[in-house]
Amino acid sequence: MDIISSIIAREQLRNQNLTAIYLKELECLPKGSIKTKCVNGNNYYYLNYRDGKKIISKYIGKDEQSLREINEKLERRKQIESIIKKLKDELIQIKKVEAKL
């Protein structure tokens, strides 16, 4: 039982460390979605996100490079949020196994 307990403890620590790393990375990434507004035949890009009850619309610009960078960061945010959800589910399973020992 000591071997199993140590493996469970290591796995729980690994899970918590990964979650902390991903949460820290998540703080640096933008949230929201990109909206396009067409004015006089020109496309303007905005990053829309919620801040409390307010919806904030932040101008990105017309530059395709800026748009690509923001899109990549938003995709990375979605990936990290998915990973964090899986890690939380995994932690629940670890605690269930730990309780049975």
CB burial string 1-27: b at 16+ within 10 A, e below: eeeeeeeeeebbeebeeebeeeeeeee
Average pLDDT of 14-36? 96
pLDDT of residue 61: 80
pTM (2 decimals)? Answer: 0.83
H-helix or E-strand containing 62?
none
Per-residue pLDDT at 7 exceeds 90: yes
